[in-house]
Amino acid sequence: MDSFEQAWELICETCKSQITGVAYKTWFSSLKPVSLDFENNVATIEAPNEFHMQTLLRGYSEVLGRAFESVFGMPVQLKVTVPQEAPPQKEAPAPDNDSYELTFDTFVVGPSNRFAHAACQAVALKPAILYNPLFIYGNSGLGKTHLLSAVSKEFMRNFPDRNVVYVKSEDFTNEVIDAISRGTTAALRAKYRNADLLLMDDVQFIAGKNSTQEEFFHTFNTLYEAKKQIILTSDRPPKDIATLEDRLQTRFEWGLTADVQPPDYETRIAIINRKADSMDFSIPENVSEYIANKLKSNVRQLEGAVKKLRAFHLLEGKPINVATAQSAISDIINNSQPTPVTVDKIIEEVARTYLVSPEDIRSGKRNGAISAARQVSIYIVREITQMPMTEIGETFGGRDHSTIVYSMKKMEQKLQSDPHTRDTVEDIIKNIRDR
């Protein structure tokens, strides 16, 4: 069972890279590994209730199947069960994979992250005194979320009676949209504006989303004036988020801005060895060196390689040598390119930006916001996927070829004449490719 649990971590990480954070949090975070029958190639996992199980099988069985095959190197038949007496469905926790590990003690410090690490330790000890807000930026997989988790844990240890709120900006946007549609903005504001420590991950995704930026602007002001600590992460500094409102950019730069860079060779070796130690797993020096020389820009990939190497050793009895390490990282190297962007992801991101629904964008509705969102979606779909015009027309409610051509020409003209629209489209494209 321990072996399957280790493999399950890899399976979840693989799934997480294929779907949105909201989908992962809703449908995957509460699944449990039950048993693995190697003789019959059957894996059993448990969903919390019947509805959850049916939705998972209907919408995500292919994602799970690919993840199992990626980890085990062969197709696995998936069986999903539910408890005999399913408990009432609860709200899924915030995505925080391996959260028990994400502390300051387990964060490997090197020249590439020392400044950001020191700043985080300082605000956990003296919140809203030294650096407020603290803005941390750097590419995906370099430890920004680890630092947020570490601050959260240290803050709660130092101030156990205070309130910590962590949120991904994508989830915050969805909450704003939901609150507007349901008329529950008061509850939303109570949740965020009563925080003693607010941690927002991937804040770049609120750019271009007017209602979300408006809500966060007032939330930021309320917390800042009340001397509450705010920590934000992003893949780029505030000045490089093109459609971020000037008033937010200014506020994000009020405190301290710290970047996190890819780890150097010595830090990569330390990360590999620290991860192995945390799993009671010993890796020979030449194997650590091989992995460190092959994976140079992403902490998450280094840790994933150690997990997969251990899984190969435990599940298949493979020796811990360079040959096994080559097998363990082959998928990581081959999959280092971004996941192919689907039309659905494009439409979802545009819908969030323009505060309309994906269904509206695909429909025949013609009001201003929906038409604008539809034109942007059509342009980005063509720009990223290079789908034929006729196929794009079918995707957007059966529109004919000439309608798509006209929409493309209108958008190209608008991008040349309207800098705001151009910045919005560029941010949307960057956000989609960074997911």
Do 1 and 59 lie in a common domain?
A: yes
235 domain residue, yes or no = yes
Distance from C-alpha of 398 to C-alpha of 112, rounded to nearest angstrom: 51
Which domain CATH number covers 10?
3.30.300.180
333 domain residue, yes or no = no
365 domain residue, yes or no = yes
Which domain CATH number covers 390?
1.10.1750.10
Do 72 and 122 lie in a common domain?
A: no
Do 124 and 201 lie in a common domain?
A: yes
Domain boundary residue among 236, 259, 282? 259
Cα-Cα-Cα-Cα dihedral sign, residues 112, 114, 115, 117: positive
Beta bridge partners of 165: 198
Copy the structure tokens of residue 259.
Answer: 């970047």
Query: Looking at residue 349, what DSSP letter applies?
Result: H
**334-341 contacts: CB < 8 A, separation 24 or more?**
335/17, 336/301, 338/433, 339/17, 339/18, 339/435, 341/384, 341/385, 341/432, 341/433
Which residue type occupies 169?
Answer: S
pLDDT tens digit sequence for 229-257: 999 999 899 988 888 889 999 999 999 99
Do 104 and 242 lie in a common domain?
A: yes
Do 211 and 85 lie in a common domain?
A: no
Domain boundary residue among 53, 68, 89? 89
289 domain residue, yes or no = no
pLDDT in tens, the chain (435 residues): 357 777 888 888 888 877 776 667 777 888 888 888 777 788 899 888 776 787 778 778 888 888 888 888 778 888 888 876 433 333 333 444 444 578 898 898 989 899 999 999 999 999 998 899 999 998 888 889 999 999 999 999 999 889 899 999 888 988 888 888 888 888 889 889 999 999 999 999 888 888 899 999 999 999 999 999 999 999 899 988 888 889 999 999 999 999 999 888 899 999 998 888 888 888 989 988 988 888 888 888 888 888 888 888 887 778 888 888 888 887 666 554 444 567 888 888 888 888 888 888 888 888 888 888 899 999 988 887 777 888 888 888 888 888 888 888 888 888 888 888 888 888 888 777 665
CA dihedral 343, 349, 355, 356 (to 10 degrees): 10
Q: What angle do CA 353, 137, 210 make, to 5 degrees?
A: 20
Do 72 and 193 lie in a common domain?
A: no
Q: Summarize the chain as % helix, strand, coil (round to 5).
A: 60, 10, 30
* Cβ density class 221-240: b for 16+ within 10 Å, e for less: eebbeeebbbbbbbbbbbee
**Domain total for the chain?**
3
Do 212 and 131 lie in a common domain?
A: yes
Which domain CATH number covers 140?
3.40.50.300
286 domain residue, yes or no = no
Do 135 and 42 lie in a common domain?
A: no
Confidence (pTM): 0.62
Do 357 and 385 lie in a common domain?
A: yes
Q: Which residue has the tokens 């991101």?
A: 349
Distance from C-alpha of 435 to C-alpha of 433, rounded to nearest angstrom: 6
Report strand pairing: 32-37 vs 164-168: unpaired
Q: SS3 letters for 154-180?
A: HHHHHCCCCCEEEEEHHHHHHHHHHHH
Distance from C-alpha of 343 to C-alpha of 387, rounded to nearest angstrom: 10
271, 303 Cβ separation under 8 angstroms: yes
Do 25 and 115 lie in a common domain?
A: no
Domain boundary residue among 42, 70, 89? 89
199 domain residue, yes or no = yes
331 domain residue, yes or no = no
Do 208 and 355 lie in a common domain?
A: no
What residues make up the domain containing 71? Answer: 1-89
pLDDT tens digit sequence for 375-401: 999 998 888 777 788 888 888 888 888
Q: Answer whether the bond into residue 133 is a cis peptide, omega within 30°.
A: yes
187 domain residue, yes or no = yes
Do 129 and 247 lie in a common domain?
A: yes
